[in-house]
Every structure is written in structure tokens, then in C-alpha cells.
Amino acid sequence: MLEEYLNRIIHGDCLDVLHQLPDACIDLVVTSPPYNLKNSTGNGMKDGRGGKWANAALIKGYENYDDCMPVEEYARWQHEVLLELVRVIKDDGAIFYNHKWRVQDGLIQDRRDIVYDVPLRQIIIWKRKGGINFNAGYFLPTYEVIYLIAKKDFKLAPHCNSYGDVWEIMQEQRNDHPAPFPVELIDRIVSSTTAQIVLDPFMGSGTTAVVAAGLGRDFIGIEKSAKYCESANARLEKNKINPEVAKFHQLDLFQLTPPPVKRKKTKQIYDYGTQSLFQG
């Protein structure tokens, strides 16, 4: 039954599509929802005319979603999405849910109103580069968070537990979508797991699909905008010839030649006994 969803970007509402999926059928979810940025107590983007930040990529929201819900309604929606995601992952499955903490009315909004009653295991800091701060009351925010929500049997791929929990990765710059993931970030997540089926319910420009396909995994994408679905599909086609993940996995090209065996240097032991052979 899942076959019909595999390796497709489904044009639709995430909750409608998630409701159709059976329990425990997905290995990994990687996603970044709309952040509700246009509902803001500051006036960075507040009134839609730009406020102080006239060139912000999200000034008009997304193609057919304005990113401006009442705060409680937004939190209720996102929490419902998270509960559905927990339902569809397997007992060894995990969700990497990217969000942003921000200051609202002088106090940190840390998304505790969304991420509760789910098995939260770790918070990864994604340190981005630069940014703009119009408020003299706090330092320039430079990170986003990635909640690792994991069911009890979830384990990382071998050796990946040696990565730290602060990842310094530059935001994406060559993508027309207003809020794309950097390929490197998703590559780090997917290749740190052995997941075969990867779901992104807010697929946007298709980054999760492109990375999953590039790493030989299956994907399921959901996206509300027909325009973004179309560009994600076009991007997937291009990736069949020129995979974007190749940049991070160049070694794969050479895997046909086995890597040189590293021999342990043995300490030289002088055998004084044999010396006598040469001593005449």
C-alpha cells in the first residue's frame, strides 16, 4: 500500500496525506515547517510591506500560504502534525524537526508549545551564518534548532555518534524557494542514519527528496504548493544526472578501489641474539 507513495512528491495538505499513511511505516522524518514568521511582535516583516526588513525572502510568505496564523492556532497545528509524525514512524524511527526560537514581546519563544508529549531525545543546534538584528534588546540570533524526536529503538549509523550536537552549516544561497534547507544539513542527517524510507511533510523545493534519492534511500514528500511541487520534481530530474549530494560523498566514486590497509607501526625490537651470527 505504501508503494504508491514512494519516491513521489504529493501535492496536498500534510495532515490530509499523513492521515492516509498506516502506523509505523516510515524510518525517518526530516522536515522544516513554515515558522509562522509573519505573525511577529516586531515589525521586521509584520505588515507585509516589509517593515524594517524589506528584502526578506519570506516577505510575501510562501506561494500559497501566508505564514501568519494566530499564535495558539499555529502551535496547535504543528503539535498535531508532530503527533501524526510520531504515529507513522517505526519503533526504531526518528524525526528531525527543524524550528527557530525567537524573541517575541521581549521573551524567548522556544516552541515548548509545539514540542511536548513526544519522545524528545536531543536538541541539535544548527549554527548559521550572520543575519540582521533590528532590536537593541538582545544579541543577533545565529542558530536554529533541530529537535531529534526518536522512538526507543532508534540508533545512529555506525560511528555517527562522534559528531557533536552543534553543526555549523551555511544557509542555502542558490535556491529560489524562500526558505530552503542547505543540502549539507540534510545530507548530515540522512547519512547519519540507516533509514530507507524518508518522509518530509513540508517538502518545499525538494531538498529532502534530492538527498534521500542521492543516497539511495526512498522518499515521500508532501507539499501544499503546486508550483513548489513542480520545481522539486524538476530538481529531482536534474539530480539523476548531477546528484547534489556528490559534493559530500566524493569518496564513493573511488570505492571500487579498496582503501589502503593501514598497518599498525610495530616497535622495532632488536634481537641481540642473532647479532652473534655476524660476529664471526
Ligand X SMILES: C[S@@+](CC[C@H](N)C(=O)[O-])C[C@H]1O[C@@H](n2cnc3c(N)ncnc32)[C@H](O)[C@@H]1O
Indicate the residue type of 18: L
Phi, psi dihedral angles at 61 (to 5 degrees): 70, -155
Q: Does 32 bind ligand X (CB under 6 A)?
A: yes
Q: Does 185 bind ligand X (CB under 6 A)?
A: no
**Residue list 202-221, contact with ligand X (CB under 6 A):** 202, 204-205, 207
Q: Specify the residue, 60 or 92, whose C-beta has the smaller distance to ligand X.
A: 60
The alpha carbon dihedral of 234, 17, 36, 187 has a sign of negative
Shortest CB 77 distance to ligand X, Å:
8
How far is 7 from 5, CA to CA, in rounded Å? 7
Determine which residue in the list 177, 188, 217, 235 makes contact with ligand X, applying CB under 6 A. 177
Q: Specify the residue, 60 or 121, whose C-beta has the smaller distance to ligand X.
A: 60
Binding region for ligand X (CB under 6 A) out of 99-107, 153-161, 198-206, 262-270? 198-206
Indicate the residue type of 20: Q
CB atoms within 10 A of CB 206: 29
Determine which residue in the list 38, 99, 217, 224 makes contact with ligand X, applying CB under 6 A. 224
Residue number closest to ligand X, CB atom: 204
CA distances from 215 to 8, 153, 247 (A): 16, 23, 12
Phi, psi dihedral angles at 131 (to 5 degrees): 135, -175
Where does this chain bind ligand X (CB under 6 A)? 13-14, 32-34, 62, 65, 177, 179-181, 202, 204-205, 207, 222-225, 228
